[in-house]
Structure 1
Amino acid sequence: MDDFVRGRILIEVKPGLSPESLDKLVKPHGGKAKKIGQSNLHIIELPANASEVAILKQLEHRPEFKFAELDRIVESAMAVNDPYIGSAWHINKIGANTAWDSTRGTGVTIAILDSGMELSHPDLKPNLVAGRNIYNNNTDVSDICGHGTAVGGAAAAASNNGLGVAGVAGTSKIMPLRIAYWNTTYNSCYASYSTIASGITYAADNGARVANVSYARVHSSSSVLSASRYMKSKGGLVFVAAGNSNIDEKITADPALIVVSSTTSSDTRSSFSSYGSAVSLAAPGSGIWTTGTNGSYRTANGTSFAAPVAAGVAAMMMSARPDLSPDTIQSLMYKTAVDLGSAGRDIYYGYGRVNAAAAVYAAKSYGGTADITKPTASISAPLGSATVSGNVAVNASASDNVGVSRVELKANGTVVAVDSAAPYSFSWNSTGVANGMANLVAVAYDAAGNAGTSSTVAVNVANTTSSGTTTTADTIKPTVTITNPVAGNVSGTVTISVSASDNRDVSGLRLQLLTDGVLRAYGTGGSLSWRWEAHKYTAGAHTLKATAKDKAGNLSETTVIVNVVK
């Protein structure tokens, strides 16, 4: 079979690119863009006769996009079943039973992106929350091949209930997200980059703080990495399986993902476990006693089960210290891991085998001094005095002693775009300012709220204007769109982005942004952004409204209703 989904490619647009501009870029190829959740990822649906590879080559280097890639197909990372019904050795090995003295994961939701879930299983039912069938776009999350039921049990099967098995985080909630389909030719479950990225984004938008993806080689996807960065910006972490091919996968490490290899009861690498520089942690994955279909219990092998074991530890840490950032949780997991193999990080075990007892203790006792160090920021492109027009690619860099949470791009003092993940790059619509010199500044923020400002880069805006003079009264209203978020669920901190255009001088537009009728931000030009701390609002429906008024007094407005989830 093809190793990618026919009829689509995946792209991430740079912050600041309007939906209208995106449509113009993909329309010549017959493409239609569909935004994935509240992120900047898009699925580009192509005509049936299109050449995905040829179109990808034309789009992947466009300055308006962070990347473009094929929607590749991946297989579940489950090895051959072990017929021996063993004990849950891995619980004691990682010290989960000791960690349970402090927490079992209460208050944290783990999204299981897989083949679905057996909702009636007695060891899963108490912990289940509403999920979603991402593949079919409906609410049917029934397990189509049993893999998801087993993975969910390893992470968070109910504990202390006198039944079957105990998951690592036995009081965490489980959000089942079906991303897979059953391939009758190969008798196996398969998923794709697009369903996985959509599932991670859905999890982030719907309050999950941990997501687990037990499918092979997903860490090679730019779309999955982008979705994982988005989830991190929402306070969550994504765990993925290293794979079961017993090879060096030769995939570059990325801090957006925690890639987990498999170990045995003797703390050696499982014979099937893939490895490589991308591996960040190891966890038990051989003979894991977990939940099965039809209310059963089973043992299973695979990095499919190592990943949710590690994910369960992260959930317990977050439960013990909900105030800690995902970067801190991730760092503490690495620092407390049991170092196996070569000293330090290596290609087989990453930073070591996860240690639940030590990790939870480290989270509980964590409390460094207040961070007062400002990030640094700079703009590398365009260069000072460059002449620009239309959509302008702006590249920035930022660093911090702890971590950069976001970078804002300002044009003449107005925030025009926000990027939450490196590499920080934007697509600035320069028609939002008058022709002539415009000042660009990048401002980097860390989690403590410290801000660092780049040097000003002055560029010469030279957009083509219509010729001739006219005295005809302007009666045409501007257009205004809230490009992010779209209608649906939101959580955490959300970047609200407004884009506007007009038949005359767009620099004369006056923009306003309101939440529930209260003015929150205003500015001039063709775009406006504001960071909305949605988690501080009551759960339920809230109305976002944007208005645009031109120099003639013509007024347009638009609204988006979102649902805040806790």
Structure 2
Amino acid sequence: MISISTRSNPAIRAAALAVAGACAFAPFTAGAAPQGEFDGFVRGRLLVEAKPGLSDAAFDKLLKPYGGKKRKLGQSNLHVIDLPGHASEIAILKQLEHRPEFKFAELDRLVESTMAVNDPYIGSAWHINKIGAPAAWDSTRGSGITIAILDSGIESTHPDLKANLVAGRNIYNNNTDVSDICGHGTAVAGAAAAASNNGIGVAGTAGAAKIMPLRIAYWNTTYSSCYASYSTIAAGITYAADNGARVANASYARLAASSAVLSAARYMKSKGGLVFVSAGNANVDEKITADPALIVVSATTSSDARASFSSYGAAVSLAAPGSGIWTTGRNATYLSKNGTSFSSPIAAGVAAMMMAARPDLKPDTIQSLMYSTAVDLGSAGRDVYFGHGRVNAAAAVAAAKSYGVTSDTTAPKAAISAPLGNASVSGAVAVNVGASDNVGVARVELKANGTVVAVDSAAPYSFSWNSTGVANGMANLVAVAYDAAGNSGSSASVAVNVANATTTTTTVDTVKPTITITNPVAGNVSGRVTISISVTDNSDVAGIRQQLLIDGVLRAYGSGGTLAWTWNAAKYTAGSHTIRVTAKDKAGNLAEKTLVVNNVK
């Protein structure tokens, strides 16, 4: 947060946001924003998450009445919806947020960086000893783990950062220029992973971890502060997950209030990563509900008190030093900084060290161990000011190293709550599934008459099933839940009556089916990848037979208009792999589509 409070001056805040809304940034350019009153969101844009099973064609049809065009964020199910200049974002949002084909729809709100005013002197690195980092460094400094810094860019020539940098991306401008436009990102990166044991400058929490710079912000010249939006941050998290980062940090305010950011964080968790965000510097209860998808970090002082500027509330997960933090600055300098902007990357660095010490541990385990080893401050147990407590690097790394590997043989449980048995259905059908496990559910697959038609990797588990993919009459739906150990549990079969309108044709069918690979898209993939396919045809799609091959080897097959399969790319070599899909209709017309992706190990 800047020294002039935009929160307390509505006129200043409205003007600042108007400037932000007028900024066009590719690939998020949405056309010229209308002038006039502006209420803290980006004009001409919405964010939605499509339910698994929604085809591209059906998605486009939903948006057509509004003139909307969708853009997919990485390999996730998140989409930016670009609207024409005359459209009312709020009116269209009210239409889309209740559609059963979407998990959510929301405005693309603007958020501000959480750096407070500078101290008048260079401080000492008191926080390093406070969190017990030197003891943790006896075991690990984060080697082998990449931390994505979603911010204003990074000064790539800084002597304390350049050795740890890996290729990043300018999400805001859709190019490779990640130079720091604010100074904020360079300072945040230093708190997380400035090189340690190099005889110069400062040491980040995880001084041997790699830093992936992702620029998601722009510089507001009027108010001398960095602004970003839900869409750029969600896109940055998705990019980090798709490109092998295990930790992501976004030091911007109120991110836990965004459904899109939470969805992106769940996606990163499904890839084995964790996302850290700052609590904010407004010194207020932000009144945001806690969600395990994000680790929200408040700021403490050298005496383990809450920093006077630190926001708080139910969403706070952890606390970490955030007052007088000595870190890297632009022009190869070192600065003392205040703000939850720095408590968040300090905690993120601890997670990176834990992952380096035990690469086999799942993100939920890392998160749980960070909470259980934190130094309890304030009221006993979790509270609104410190969350589970102030992060303790020494205890957290030790706990990760000694964590026992137990064999999980307990199968998850699954149950379909909608539609009900014997219900009559047609077209796109909303299917809701409840799933639970003793450790955690990794994904849920939906089967229609034995064919896997969609996969969802994050709760709440819900699907948009295209019932035209089966013949009219009774169809059986089954949900199968999987845990990380590979155990699976199936729901009871739910029989529904499919009653779609039919057409009769007497002409000879010579038209090939049309195949769409909804996910993944061309580019980088990592970890478990959901391959989603939809097929359309001039005749009955219920009779179509599909096959899915990876590098020429048959991996899945089924009948109907949709097919899904979970590909564990982690078991394949790094580099290029070919996904090939074939579809044959009742008349014997055969179509084929291929997609080449790059596996990031």
TM-score category, normalised to shorter length: over 0.9
Cross-structure match for 1:43: 80
Partner of residue 587 from structure 2, selected from 540, 543, 552: 552
Partner of residue 275 from structure 1, selected from 301, 304, 312: 312
1:478·1:549 contact (CA, 8 Å) conserved in 2?
yes
The answer to whether residue 524 in structure 2 is matched with residue 489 in structure 1 is yes
2:293 aligned counterpart, secondary structure: coil
The answer to whether residue 400 in structure 2 is matched with residue 358 in structure 1 is no
Deviation of 1:185 (Å): 2.1
Measured in 2, the distance between the counterparts of 1:18 and 1:267 equals 52
The answer to whether residue 539 in structure 2 is matched with residue 504 in structure 1 is yes
Cross-structure match for 1:388: 425
Query: What is the identity, as a one-letter code, of the residue corresponding to 2:56?
Result: P
1:265 aligned counterpart, secondary structure: coil
The answer to whether residue 200 in structure 2 is matched with residue 163 in structure 1 is yes
Deviation of 1:269 (Å): 0.4
Deviation of 1:195 (Å): 0.1
Measured in 2, the distance between the counterparts of 1:560 and 1:199 equals 23
Deviation of 1:62 (Å): 0.2
1:406 aligned counterpart, secondary structure: strand
Deviation of 1:80 (Å): 0.8
Cross-structure match for 1:543: 578
1:530 aligned counterpart, secondary structure: strand
2:195 aligned counterpart, secondary structure: coil
Query: What is the identity, as a one-letter code, of the residue corresponding to 1:87?
Result: S
Per-residue CA deviations over 1:59-100 (Å, capped at 9, x if unaligned) read 110000000000000000111111221210000000011000
Measured in 2, the distance between the counterparts of 1:217 and 1:99 equals 31
The answer to whether residue 236 in structure 2 is matched with residue 199 in structure 1 is yes
Cross-structure match for 1:340: 377
2:410 aligned counterpart, secondary structure: coil
The answer to whether residue 226 in structure 2 is matched with residue 189 in structure 1 is yes
Measured in 2, the distance between the counterparts of 1:184 and 1:7 equals 23
Cross-structure match for 2:121: 84
- Segment drifting more, 152-161 vs 512-521: 512-521
Measured in 2, the distance between the counterparts of 1:368 and 1:550 equals 49
Cross-structure match for 2:249: 212
The answer to whether residue 538 in structure 2 is matched with residue 528 in structure 1 is no
Per-residue CA deviations over 1:206-245 (Å, capped at 9, x if unaligned) read 0000000000001100000000000000000000000000
Query: What is the identity, as a one-letter code, of the residue corresponding to 1:271?
Result: S
Query: What is the identity, as a one-letter code, of the residue corresponding to 2:501?
Result: T
Cross-structure match for 1:565: 600
Measured in 2, the distance between the counterparts of 1:488 and 1:289 equals 38
Deviation of 1:367 (Å): 1.0
Query: What is the identity, as a one-letter code, of the residue corresponding to 1:272?
Result: F
Query: What is the identity, as a one-letter code, of the residue corresponding to 1:493?
Result: R
1:254·1:278 contact (CA, 8 Å) conserved in 2?
yes
- Segment drifting more, 440-449 vs 316-325: 440-449
2:323 aligned counterpart, secondary structure: coil
Cross-structure match for 2:339: 302
Deviation of 1:284 (Å): 0.4
Measured in 2, the distance between the counterparts of 1:375 and 1:532 equals 20
The answer to whether residue 479 in structure 2 is matched with residue 442 in structure 1 is yes
Runs of 4+ in 1 over 6 A off after TM superposition: none
Cross-structure match for 1:242: 279
Cross-structure match for 1:431: 468
Measured in 2, the distance between the counterparts of 1:498 and 1:285 equals 47
Cross-structure match for 2:33: none
Per-residue CA deviations over 1:309-360 (Å, capped at 9, x if unaligned) read 0000000000000000000000000000000011110000000000000000
Measured in 2, the distance between the counterparts of 1:240 and 1:106 equals 22
The answer to whether residue 264 in structure 2 is matched with residue 227 in structure 1 is yes
Where structure 2 has 5 or more consecutive residues not aligned to the other structure, the ranges are 1-17, 19-37
Per-residue CA deviations over 1:165-205 (Å, capped at 9, x if unaligned) read 00000000000000000112222110000000000000000
Cross-structure match for 1:105: 142
- Segment drifting more, 63-72 vs 79-88: 79-88
Partner of residue 257 from structure 1, selected from 294, 307, 327: 294
Deviation of 1:471 (Å): 3.1
Measured in 2, the distance between the counterparts of 1:349 and 1:41 equals 31
Cross-structure match for 1:371: 408
Q: Normalising by the residue count of structure 1, what TM-score does the alignment of the two structures yield?
A: 0.99
Cross-structure match for 1:284: 321
1:75·1:190 contact (CA, 8 Å) conserved in 2?
yes
- Segment drifting more, 18-27 vs 495-504: 495-504
Cross-structure match for 1:32: 69
1:431 aligned counterpart, secondary structure: helix
The answer to whether residue 463 in structure 2 is matched with residue 403 in structure 1 is no
1:263·1:269 contact (CA, 8 Å) conserved in 2?
yes
Cross-structure match for 1:415: 452
Deviation of 1:394 (Å): 0.4
The answer to whether residue 43 in structure 2 is matched with residue 6 in structure 1 is yes
Query: What is the identity, as a one-letter code, of the residue corresponding to 2:571?
Result: K
The answer to whether residue 102 in structure 2 is matched with residue 65 in structure 1 is yes
Measured in 1, the distance between the counterparts of 2:506 and 2:476 equals 32
Deviation of 1:369 (Å): 2.4
Cross-structure match for 1:515: 550
Deviation of 1:503 (Å): 1.4
1:67 aligned counterpart, secondary structure: strand
Query: What is the identity, as a one-letter code, of the residue corresponding to 1:228?
Result: A
Deviation of 1:11 (Å): 0.3
Identity of aligned residues (%): 80
Cross-structure match for 1:94: 131
Measured in 2, the distance between the counterparts of 1:537 and 1:450 equals 21
1:481·1:546 contact (CA, 8 Å) conserved in 2?
no
**Matched residue pairs, number?**
564
Cross-structure match for 2:5: none
2:396 aligned counterpart, secondary structure: helix
Partner of residue 472 from structure 1, selected from 498, 501, 507: 507
Measured in 2, the distance between the counterparts of 1:187 and 1:278 equals 28
Deviation of 1:559 (Å): 1.2
Measured in 1, the distance between the counterparts of 2:520 and 2:131 equals 40
Per-residue CA deviations over 1:85-130 (Å, capped at 9, x if unaligned) read 1210000000011000000000000000000000000000000000
- Segment drifting more, 293-302 vs 445-454: 445-454
Measured in 2, the distance between the counterparts of 1:400 and 1:521 equals 26
Partner of residue 462 from structure 1, selected from 499, 505, 509: 499
1:340 aligned counterpart, secondary structure: coil
Query: What is the identity, as a one-letter code, of the residue corresponding to 1:516?
Result: D
Cross-structure match for 2:175: 138
Deviation of 1:368 (Å): 4.1
The answer to whether residue 376 in structure 2 is matched with residue 326 in structure 1 is no
2:172 aligned counterpart, secondary structure: coil
Q: Normalising by the residue count of structure 2, what TM-score does the alignment of the two structures yield?
A: 0.93
